[in-house]
Structure 1
Amino acid sequence: MAMSGGKDDGAPMMEMNMTPLIDVLLVLLIMFIITIPVATHAVNIDLPAPSPTPPDVIVEPEKNKLVLTATDEILWNGNTINDGQLRTLLAQSTQMAVEPELQFEPEALASYDLAARVLQIIKASGVTKFGFVGNERYRTFGSAG
């Protein structure tokens, strides 16, 4: 007895039965959805301990020069510092009665990523007296020093 309602002449069906294929695909889809990890877990980050400001790195009362070198160093008034020390020094400068001017001078071959990261730290610190210095050396395109 045929389910199609038409006459059954005994010839084989020429159409593919899609129902089992769709069932298998739905089961596979459900299995993939179940096996995807839930994205609501916390990401643990080990942050470095804050380092105290070395005694030779101080905040000048009138102006401080921040230089980014081609070797990815951050120089504060000529002394090499890291990101944590930069945050500390910027916090100290903003707490002074008269905030000193921060002069930002990246070298010609300094990393753009380092410059962007340092500028983000400066912006987050709330420094209000800020200036770019040394840009007059780069007036013409292609001169690197």
Structure 2
Amino acid sequence: MDNLFETYNQIICEMDVDYHNAAVRLGLSDSEFGILYTLCVEGSGTNQSVLYKKSGIARSTVNSAIRKMEGRGWLYLVPGEGRNTRVMLTENGKAAVAQTVGRIVEIEKQIFGAFTEEEAKLLIRLNRSFEAQLKQAVEKL
């Protein structure tokens, strides 16, 4: 079983490297990639707090990357409800998403679409179970 665990961890690490390499090839930093990916999936107008939570990127890093992307003319911030700030894509930002992370999302959909429905459900079920158990264990640390 230890060998299977090591293989699983190796796959996770290799996928992290794959996403990093995608960011580099697309001319993005890892944080820009994560933010644009989240905006691609969640949509323009996503609360800034969602970017921290969904991307796993530190709040200060998200803030710095947002400022950089504002400078590129890709996005802007607007007040949301309460203390929330919404991150909006400009037309240039929408084009940047389509040319970068949008391509990755399409690749992921093609790969996932090649699974049978049963395989896809099994993959989701096992990963959801692993994540839920990991979250519980981490909360007890």
Smaller-chain TM-score bracket: under 0.3
- Name the one with the larger helix percent: 2
- Name the one with the larger strand percent: 1
Which has the higher Rg, Structure 1 or Structure 2? 1
TM-score, reference length from structure 2: 0.24
TM-score, reference length from structure 1: 0.23
